[in-house]
Amino acid sequence: MVCHNQYNSTYTKLSEFCYYERSEARIPYRQESQNITKANMRNLTGSKYYKMDFHQSYLFILVLITIILSGCTNTPVINDKPDIIEEVSIPTIAYGIVVDTLLVIEAKVKKNEFLSDILLRYGINYNQIDHIARKTKNVFDVRKIIAGNKYSVICTDDSLNNALYFAYELSASSYVIYSFRDSVVALRGEKDIVISDGNTTGVIESSLWNAIVENNADPNLANELSEIYAWTIDFFGLQKGNAYKAIFEEQFVDDNYIGLGRVKASMFYHGGDTLFAFYFEQDGKGDYFDEKGNSLQRTFLKAPLRFTRISSKFSNSRMHPVLKIRRPHHGVDYAAPSGTPVYTVGDGTVVKKGYQKRGGGNYITIKHNGTYSTTYMHLNGYAKGIKIGNHVRQGDLIGYVGATGLATGPHLDFRFYRNGKPVDPLKVESPPSLPIDTANLVAFDSIVDAYISQLHLVQ
């Protein structure tokens, strides 16, 4: 079909004359005039005729419909290519330093080894070592370096291996690090301590300490439990078959176990009773309480030292092991190895400190209040800083077991006085500390219920 169009000056189509071309025959086709836009007119400019046969028209219309229909569909475009995941490398950090491109040499301080001995091996000169010793003493006194402690030298990872840093570990979690880059700088740092919960249970055959060790738990747990139950359980009277369960914190640094944290809850079977202990904080102070909210702490500890045996009890007539005569023994003798720590059983003031050549040897007397005082005899030595007039708190270290004075072997003679008169320390009844405050009972009861359920699950 061939069409010829005629337009006026306003681009209005005046007429259209079309005809089909088939075998040289022309079939006329006439349309009425119609308006078209200027844009359409511009598309026709320069072309007087346009031509399309029947089959081309059909194909053109078919393709046009297909394009329109495909554009109306909501079919999402699927990307067959897999997502590319970029790997992010995590840097290796030691003592707060990225050491991926450095060489880290780890070792332990040897016996009779000084800091200069170590640093000289890695090219640190005497001037730098002298600077460390004199100018960084406020950070760490290098004379206090201890054999067996770990240290690391961080060097360049090349043929020179120049020392850039030296780190000395004060403990499992704290360290001091020296930088030799521009000028010598010393800083203290702390490693992250990761805390997780642990638990254990056991039955006593000989002692609490042995039972805990046999169950592969930290032996320090024995000390912790003895302090928690100091006024509830007589640990000198533990019997075979007594049992315990405990939930506690375990501390880790660099995935290595470094020590026991706080005991959170425990259960002790003793003397036919089930004795609970739960740690709870109120008014900014933490303490241990039973399931009813009563404090397990007392005004006085049950004993001034841990895990010993009683070699002699309170008596008005005892055969003296040295003098071989009978005379009163108004105290309790605790047999223990020389050097065993001795602790004050309560808050008070040191009122006496001296030596009795024909009696108690090195001794200390502490006045707790207007009623009670205690005396600790046959000490091998005193704790640092202990002197008359010092105020001490319950559980403070005051001295060490010895055999001074009239003694056949190392032991502690512990004496208790009420209004100046001696009383049997094993029979002293001490009032408990404050119980859980009423305002905290709901929170405390919630903790108790949770821990009792956990304790029953410990196997």
Domain identity same for 171 and 275: no
Q: In this structure, which amino acid lies at residue 21? A: E
> What is the H or E stretch that residue 132 is in?
helix 126-135
| Mean pLDDT computed over 413-419 | 89
Supply 170's token pair: 């004060």
Residues 124 and 153 in one domain: yes
pLDDT band at 31 (very low <50, low <70, confident <90, very high): very low
Mark whether 401 and 315 lie in a shared domain: yes
Using pLDDT thresholds of 50, 70 and 90, give the confidence band for residue 17. very low
pLDDT of residue 21: 47
Q: Which amino acid is at 432?
A: P
pLDDT the model gives residue 454: 96
**pLDDT at residue 75 greater than cutoff 80:** no
One domain, residues 321 and 282: no
Q: State the pLDDT confidence band at 409, using cuts at 50, 70 and 90.
A: confident
Average pLDDT (27-35) is: 43
Predicted confidence band of residue 85 (pLDDT cuts 50, 70, 90) = low
Q: H or E segment at 387? A: none
State the pLDDT at residue 318: 57
What is the number of structural domains in the chain? 4
Regarding predicted confidence, which is higher, 66 or 72?
Answer: 66
Same domain? For 180 and 128 the reply is: yes
Could you read off the pLDDT of 377-401 as tens digits, one per residue? Answer: 999 999 999 999 999 998 999 999 9
So what's the pLDDT on residue 69? 59
- Based on the domain organization, do 113 and 151 belong to the same domain? yes
**Predicted local distance difference test score (pLDDT) of residue 40:** 45
Q: Are residues 325 and 422 in the same domain?
A: yes
User: Which CATH number does the domain housing residue 108 bear?
Assistant: 3.10.450.350
Mean pLDDT, rounded, for 169-186:
92
Q: What is the mean pLDDT of residues 80-86?
A: 64
Contact (Cβ atoms closer than 8 angstroms) between residue 201 and residue 458:
yes
Dist. CA 154–CA 136, nearest whole Å: 19
Write the DSSP symbol of residue 419: T
Give which of 280, 244, 250 is closest to 262, Cα–Cα. Answer: 250
Position 313 in a domain: yes
Q: Does residue 210 belong to any structural domain of this protein? A: yes
> Does 441 reside within a domain?
no
11-18 contact pairs (CB < 8 A, 24+):
11/36, 11/38, 11/41
Does a structural domain hold residue 321? yes
- Whether the per-residue pLDDT at 160 is higher than 80: the answer is yes
324 has pLDDT over 70: no
Residues 182, 269 within the same domain: no
Asked if residue 316 and residue 275 are part of one domain, the reply reads: no
Alpha-carbon gap, residue 55 to 305, rounded angstroms = 112
Average pLDDT over residues 418-430: 84
Domain boundary among 163, 190, 217: 190
> Is the residue at 241 inside a domain?
yes
Residue at 455 is within a domain: no
Query: Do 218 and 174 reside in the same domain of the chain?
Result: no
The whole-chain average pLDDT of the chain stands at 82
Other Cβ atoms less than 10 A from the Cβ of 100: the count is 10
Least confident of 24-38, 221-235, 255-269, 393-407: 24-38
pLDDT at 260: 96
Residue 443 included in any domain: no
Arithmetic mean of pLDDT, 272-279: 95
- Let me know whether 164 and 54 are in one domain: no
* Same domain flag for 313 and 423: yes
User: Is residue 442 domain-resident?
Assistant: no
* Domain final residue pick, 156, 173, 190: 190
Task: Yes or no: say if 248 and 455 are a contact pair by the CB < 8 Å rule.
Answer: no
Arithmetic mean of pLDDT, 206-222: 93
pLDDT of 27 higher than 50: no
Percent of the chain residues past pLDDT 70, beyond the cut: 77
Q: Which domain holds residue 25?
A: 2-70
